[in-house]
Structure 1
Amino acid sequence: MHPRVTSVRPKPDYTLLLTFSNGEVRAFDVKPYLGIGIFRELQDQRSFNSVRPFLGSIQWQNGQDFCPDTLYLESVPASAPQQVAA
């Protein structure tokens, strides 16, 4: 079983910054799904931004969701912020 989502932050470029139960922070790109069925309404930024963690995964206000395994397997490690040398 893969880690589960503990928090989610939507980004303006239709990616989600996900924190998983193992502490990993990963980015999931929703853009490939935005032209498919129920996901079309997420093209509206307000709808997209309504995403919340739900039972180890995520869910939007109108019920759109992804399998937590899909979120983990199809996401990539989030870039670490650049550190400035002192």
Structure 2
Amino acid sequence: MMTPDVTHVQTLASYELLVSFADGGKRRFSMLPYLHYPAYQGLTQPGKFGLAHVSNGTVAWSDEIDMSPDTLYLAGEEVSNEFTEQAP
């Protein structure tokens, strides 16, 4: 089975991401366990984590820093749509 593409990302507190996928699913994903890896240490710089955006079907911060959609989908915690709805 192919992992669906990321269609939207929102940054949350404590280095968490709320990721929406093309199949309609949403996952809450913590970047905390990854921040000690050299590839992701730059995300701890002030303001850097908030630059998360969708690029080529996954979450990226820059040309050098991105996260596999497989990891986001498989390791992310599934969330219901109620969690993501904004109050008027």
Q: TM-score, normalised by structure 1?
A: 0.85
- Superposition RMSD in Å: 1.4
Unpaired runs of 5+ residues, structure 2, are 84-88
Unpaired runs of 5+ residues, structure 1, are 82-86
Range that drifts further, 18-27 or 62-71:
62-71
Change (3 A) 1:45 1:14: farther
SS in structure 1 opposite 2:42? helix
Instruction: Among all aligned residue pairs of Structure 1 and Structure 2, give the percentage whose two residues are the same amino acid.
Output: 33
Kindly provide the CA deviation profile for residues 6-33 of structure 1, in whole angstroms up to 9, marking residues without a partner as x: 0000112101000000111111110001
- The Cα of 1:35 is off from its aligned counterpart by 1.0
2:38 maps to amino acid: G
Residue 61 of structure 1 corresponds to: 62
- Count of aligned pairs: 81
Residue 39 of structure 1 corresponds to: 40
Distance in 2 (CA, whole Å) between partners of 1:18 and 1:42 is 17
SS in structure 1 opposite 2:47? helix
Q: Compare CA radii of gyration and give the structure with the larger one.
A: 1
